Amino acid sequence: MDRLPSLAVARRAHGCQADALPAATPLDARAAAGTTMRWEGGAVSRPRGGIVMADEVRRAAPLTSAGRARLLAELNQLRNEREPRLTAQLREAREQGDAWEESSYYLALQEELARVQARIHELEAALAARPEEVAPQPDTTVRLGSRVTVRDERGREQTFVIVSPLEADASRGHISASSPIGAGLLGHAVGDVVTIKVPAGQRTLTILKVE
């Protein structure tokens, strides 16, 4: 298939505004092969102590309830609004004749519809996944959905919320359970000192509070 033009460029050329659509995020389930770790109460079951490597939690983390609600809202918007609108726009363009079907605008609409449909399929797969039934854990243990306050080696305090990779948003302090820090904190409790290997070296974090 020939490479299609950028939707943003095509729509600017035709005086249209491009709708924002986040790039499809590969599901962690595709990278789960080979891992031996399990979720227990939203936390990773693994021995404590030692340095946590980033690739220790390459798996499909369960969704938090808030994250599931956000993804469901996105799915409904794409399926009930974006996909039908793009389909209608393509149909209208086809009705203009063969010349329109070869235009950059028509090809750009096809490209956006393909992206929307790919995102719909990805969200459907993520929402259909059933997390493993888990035993409850004490509130002081870091698990998926926990709000964790830590102090680093320089005495600085930070607060993170541990979420599924699909929900990660650094601007809100929501970090992926498969990120170096997220993976390193999972399964630990208040008072634990955790050494985590990150791209820039190592970080030592003391867990002050878990909510």
CATH number at residue 101: 1.10.287.180
**Which tokens is 108 given?**
């750009």
Residue 118 is assigned to a structural domain of this protein = yes
Judgement on whether residues 139 and 204 belong to the same structural domain of the protein = yes
Structural domain contains residue 1: no
User: Is residue 36 situated within a structural domain?
Assistant: no
Note whether 48 and 88 are same-domain residues: no
- The pair of structure tokens assigned to 102 is 């070869």
Give the pLDDT of residue 85: 94
Q: Which residue has the higher pLDDT, 26 or 128?
A: 128
**Structural contact between residues 189 and 142, judged by C-beta atoms closer than 8 angstroms:** yes
Together in a domain, 17 and 114: yes
d(CA 40, CA 60): 14
Statement: residue 43 has pLDDT above 70: no
Residue where a domain stops, chosen among 72, 104, 128: 128
Per-residue DSSP letter, 189? B
Q: What's the pLDDT tens digit per position in 7-20?
A: 333 444 444 444 44
Do residues 87 and 189 make contact, with C-beta atoms less than 8 angstroms apart? no
**pLDDT given for residue 48 in this prediction:** 41
Q: 128-167 burial, b if ≥16 CB within 10 A, otherwise e?
A: eeeeeebeebeeebbbbbbebebbeeeeeeeebbbbbbbb
Q: Tell me if residue 146 falls in helix, strand or coil.
A: coil
Dump pLDDT digits (tens) for 165-183: 888 888 889 999 889 999 9
The model carries a pTM of: 0.48
Of the candidates 128, 152, 172, which is a domain's last residue? 128
Same domain, 73 and 58: no
What domain range is 141 assigned to? Answer: 42-62+133-210
Amino acid at 45: S
Q: Could you tell me the pLDDT band of residue 139, with boundaries at 50, 70 and 90? A: low
Q: Do 54 and 71 share a structural domain?
A: no
Domain final residue, candidates 80, 103, 128: 128
The share of the chain scoring above pLDDT 70, in percent, equals 64
Condensed to tens digits (0 to 9), the pLDDT of residues 86-95 reads 999 988 888 8
pLDDT, mean of residues 147-151: 94
Residues 146 and 116 in one domain: no
| 120, 82 Cβ separation under 8 angstroms | no
Number of domains composing the chain: 2
**pLDDT tens digits for range 186-202:** 989 999 999 999 888 89
Angstrom distance (rounded) from CA 124 to CA 137: 29
Rounded-to-integer distance, Cα 23 and Cα 166, Å: 11
